[in-house]
Chain A
Amino acid sequence: MTIARSYRGKVPHRGFAVKAVCFAAASALAGPAAALKLGSDNPDLEMVLDTTARYNAAWRTGERDLRLVGSPAVDEGNWLFDKNDQVLSRIDLYSEFDLTWRKDVGLRVSAAAWGDTNFPDKSRSDPRFAAAPNYPNNDFTPYIDRHYKGPSGEFLDAFAWGNVRLGSTSMNVKVGRFAWLPGEFLFSNGGSFTYSMAPNDGRKSDLSPGSSAKETALPIGQLAATWQLNNEFSVMGQYTAEFRSSRISEGGTFWSVGDTALEGPPFISNPAVPRVAPFLGDKGDVALGVKWSPAKLDGDSLGLWVRKFDDKTPTWQNQVRIDGAARSGRAVYAKGIELVGLTYNTGAFGLSTGFELNYRRKMPLNVRSGFAFGTGTGLVDDPGMEGPRGNTIHFLASSVVTLNKNALFDSGSIALQFDAMRLQKITSGASLYNGEGGNTACVDELVLRGCSTRHAASIGANFTATWQQLFPSVDLSVPVFLTYGLKGNAAAVGAGITPEGSWLFRPGVRVEWLVGQYKHQFDLSYTARGGKTGELDNGAGAVNGHGGAALFNASGLANFRDRNYLSFTYQTAF
């Protein structure tokens, strides 16, 4: 079978546990106190401490489809919970502290804490593959225990900022850990010029539905500035001072694609291929941008960006190295990607619409699986350990429209995002490319085989209808999210494009109950996923890898077709 990569590819880091701090901060504010405001006696000094508390529960509703569990590399995530099992019972706290002096300089620190009483101690294998669990003895590793079970925590933002006047110009400077993603995307930034400008916590999006961008855009140590030269031109720049990986759902957990990634499982293949330390990117990403808002265009703005950066997505997650009789595997992060991008944001026709077009050189491409790299001595910067790279073109368009009161609802909104990409040419590692011109099996049924295609496109849409004051101080909304793959499988890693025929549909109901300064928000939603499936002859034959026995294939989100779930979220902030 084919495992499509998580198209939201993302990864973990080694934060320092600060649960004591977080819980202390949170408990200091618990009770009826509103956001803590200090320094109000001194009008120059403003200090605010806010905490968001969220509880998530989820239940698997889908019956396991054993055809999706074709190997020991994909069983544990599917077997961890059965139909009707509760898969989540998780509390998240998120505290934010902001200090501002005369509105022109300040500090910001934020921290998160979590705990899930429902998360099991042990991973669970399909009985057929019980002999080869990716977690030896089916014991989850300390990394998994910390991030999934908790209670634990970490600092997120930690930066200082200032606004300075330089003659008739104004500059905002930030230094420290924060995320900055000034692109035109609404859902995924894989096709945006901001790809990898900050790592992304896709794991938290999975485990804590309702997390805001403040929690899922992972801060990275950097110096960044926006220099407004006049009312038409601004110049912007970023220089990163550290490397941090994005996060994805870890192997063997409910939301994972396979069992092998990324920080948790000690084995890529047990016992032949132990996982060793990843080959990470470096600090020193550079981004330079200029924004032009000509008076004639009346609020519309154009941007031009140039970047050189290392991939924050775990680019090639399972690079296997042969060293004599020994094998080892690691994640390798692509370095030195070059990008030039254009952005356009307009308010034409009363919509808020953004466009992006960017060209990337040395963009990492999807690597085929089931092969081993050459021999190596020690984990050094060995180009031979890289997967394929190429030049790619990415386009995205996003738009938001508001819907006025009508016979059906009081107000509504529609948000749309269209992503498309094209592989211009493969520039290195062509034989490793999992697509036309690389993997020899990629000659027919490309989408179903999980092979990348030259072109790929998908769409995401969110519709929300709202009824206000359904009961006194109670508003009701119905948010519905849909993503659908229109064409192909994206060639680039982390492109943010749903594979062709794959879909995710998430209808929900939201109740907002307001009391004084507090809002109690309750969400109930159902998530269903699916995609192309079919029988294909895989592997064993003599011609182009064809001619073997027909096997069941699932492409893209079809790998989750049996893991639909119901989720409940309660959140409030104080």
Chain B
Amino acid sequence: MKLHHIAVAALFAAGMVQNAVAQEGERLPWGALKAGNKDGTIPAWEGGLPASASPAGFKKDSGFWADPYAADKPLYSITAKNMEQYADKLSEATKELLKRNHGFRVDVYPSRRPVNYSQFFIENTKLNAAGRCKTIENGEAVTGCFGGTPFPVPKNGHEAMWNLILVNKGASSWTYGQGWYVDASGNKVMTAEVNNRNQNDYFNATLTAEQFYAKGGQYFMNNNTYTAPARITGEGNLQRKYINPVATPDKTWGYTPGQRRVRLSPDAAYDFPVATAAGAMLYDEIYAFSGKLDRFDWKLVGTKEMIIPYNAYKYLAGKAEDVMTRGAPNPDVMRWELHRVTVVEATLKPGARHVVAKRRFYFDEDNPDAVVVDAWDANGKLSRGTFNPCAWAYDKQAVIHGGTFYFDFGTGAYYNSSILGSYKGLFIATDTVDADAFYSPDGLARRTQR
């Protein structure tokens, strides 16, 4: 271990509870502590937002959600000048952005806990916790899990990561967003405008756990077609991910315009850079983590209090020009809150290859999709960072997952995978499709004609 790592680890341990189950108190079905913290800066969970919530300006199935906390004012702001006071509550990437960009700041708002999972989710989470759900294949796959948080009280790093991988983004959605990056000199580039339809049968309430596994355990079915920029309009792809990726590896198909054929795509995984992301996003960073767990050792470090992007309604409604500013996201659209997070550390296995040697994931106790990630290269240098500012779709009882921010500290570029406000937004469970026909190579070929 390099000196730099020891220093970081020591600093980090300061605010850390070293064992996830060491904290006492009543736990909610999904594993979060019900009570607030001693300082009163994190509130108790009091039922979250009701499914009937309708904040001013909310139009159901409009693609966007009105901010139920619009009246909140920031409690305080963190800048490069005062960040040392909060050093143990900020991710390393957040601190790096503050250091590099003097216009950047972290506005910390009152902490709110809006999650309010459905009965289906709660019941299944309890069944998962009661022993139905297990990791297999050295933690690289799970079995028996269905319909809820797989491991409300994770015992190790692999279980904690499955809570992130199987996060509740709703059973199905249409996402219409634009991918943008900002390069080191502040140029803004739109790389893709995508029509995305996603189905997550793991959360499909019309299925039983047995049916889900009998159908092959496809927890992620995804169809993208591109409507801009002009150079890629009409291209499309299709992904399927399986709950046992060891037995059934992830699959991607691509559509070739002109020839109008669909063919399996070669593996693009691990640290392969996503072409449209200026190198700032790697394939295994999609949704903060995607793909197989096999190249890293995963350690559940514990829980701690962190200031993370949260209840990001304002950001999720923002257009690219509102969000993407030079060097870092526009602080005016970002909302940060103090929350308890689970900390998982990934260390590259000896002999395995990856541009990232160490990663640290911090995800929220109520909603694992509210995640931030720090990553270090082989020299122990902070090289990458990830934020996933999400919000709660009160009417759908699911997470609003928009674009994720990826920071490449080597090139100084950062990328956002899907800015909803620049296109039509997100539609959760507004229709059903025949998944077998829709998420198939022929289904992909039916949806693009170029």
Contacts and interface: CB of A to CB of B under 8 A. Distances in A.
Given A98-B234, A301-B441, A350-B266, A469 B413 contact: yes
**Size range of the chain B interface in the assembly:** 35 or more
A427 interface: no
Interface stretch (B68-76, B87-95, B132-140, B442-450): B442-450
A34 B227 CA distance: 12
Contact of A469 (B183, B228, B240, B265): B183
A182 B440 contact: no
Contacts of B265: 347, 352, 400
A293 interface: yes
B279 A410 contact: yes
Interface stretch (A123-131, A316-324, A360-368, A509-517): A509-517
B82 interface: no
A289 to B, nearest CB: 12
B437 interface: yes
Contact of B251 (A96, A183, A184, A299): A299
Interface core residue of A52, A466, A517 (most chain B CB under 10 Å):
A517
Nearest to B260: A180
Nearest to B261: A182
Interface string B400-441: 000000001001110000000000100000000010110011
A212 B230 CA distance: 13
A69 B249 CA distance: 57
Contacts of B355: 405
A90 to B, nearest CB: 20
Contact of B441 (A48, A293, A515, A518): A293
B231 A519 contact: yes
Given A234-B442, A517-B190, A517-B228, A401 B450 contact: no
Interface stretch (A6-14, A213-221, A418-426, A536-544): A213-221
Contact of B440 (A37, A178, A228): A228
A404 B437 contact: no
Nearest to B248: A298
B260 A178 contact: yes
Nearest to B233: A50
A216 B278 CA distance: 29
Main SS of the interface on chain A? strand
B230 A573 contact: yes
A472 interface: yes
Contacts of A413: 266
Contacts of B123: none
Given A35-B233, A103-B447, A472-B185, A214 B273 contact: no
A473 B229 contact: no
Contacts of A100: 449
A354 B266 CA distance: 11
Interface string B115-126: 000000000000
Given A228-B442, A402-B267, A216 B189 contact: no
A413 B266 CA distance: 9
B264 A48 contact: no
Contacts of A234: 442
Given A98-B450, A180-B260, A352-B264, A468 B229 contact: no
Contacts of A51: 230
B273 A411 contact: yes
A181 B216 contact: no
Contacts of B263: 184, 345, 352, 354
Contacts of B249: 347, 350
A305 B388 CA distance: 47
Nearest to A40: B424
A447 interface: no
Main SS of the interface on chain B? loop
Interface in B218-236: 227-231, 233-234
A179 B196 CA distance: 26
B449 A106 contact: yes
A141 interface: no
A458 B443 CA distance: 34
B88 to A, nearest CB: 32
A108 B258 CA distance: 12
A402 B273 contact: no
A494 to B, nearest CB: 17
A352 B190 contact: no
B271 interface: yes
A212 B257 contact: yes
Given A170-B442, A181-B259, A231-B437, A214 B450 contact: yes
A29 to B, nearest CB: 9
Contacts of A514: 187, 189, 191, 278
A299 B264 contact: yes
A573 B230 CA distance: 6
A377 interface: no
Interface in B281-312: none
B233 A469 contact: no
A168 interface: yes
Contact of B266 (A214, A351, A475): A351
B421 to A, nearest CB: 15
B443 A170 contact: yes
A169 B183 CA distance: 47
Contacts of A401: 266
Contacts of B187: 472-473, 514-516
Contact of A405 (B251, B272, B434): B272
Contacts of A96: 233-234, 450
Contacts of A411: 272-273, 275
Contacts of A299: 240, 251, 253, 264
Given A34-B230, A298-B248, A298-B251, A179 B437 contact: no
A96 B441 CA distance: 24
Nearest to A50: B230
A391 interface: no
B184 interface: yes
A475 B447 CA distance: 30
Nearest to A214: B258
A106 B225 CA distance: 15
Interface core residue of A169, A172, A295, A404 (most chain B CB under 10 Å):
A404
Contacts of B253: 299
A163 interface: yes
Given A98-B450, A231-B437, A347-B251, A400 B189 contact: no
Contact of B271 (A183, A405, A517): A405
B109 to A, nearest CB: 32
B183 A182 contact: no
Interface core residue of A108, A169, A215, A516 (most chain B CB under 10 Å):
A516
Interface string B23-56: 0000000000000000000000000000000000
Contacts of B440: 228, 231, 293
A119 B216 CA distance: 60
20 contacts: A35-B229, A37-B227, A96-B450, A181-B258, A182-B260, A226-B446, A345-B264, A347-B251, A347-B267, A354-B263, A402-B266, A402-B272, A404-B353, A411-B273, A468-B279, A475-B278, A516-B188, A516-B189, A519-B231, A574-B230
**Lowest 5 A-B CB distances belong to which pairs?**
A213-B258, A350-B267, A468-B279, A472-B183, A573-B230
Given A96-B450, A347-B251, A404-B353, 11 more contacts: A51-B230, A170-B437, A180-B261, A231-B436, A293-B441, A350-B266, A350-B269, A399-B266, A401-B266, A516-B188, A517-B230
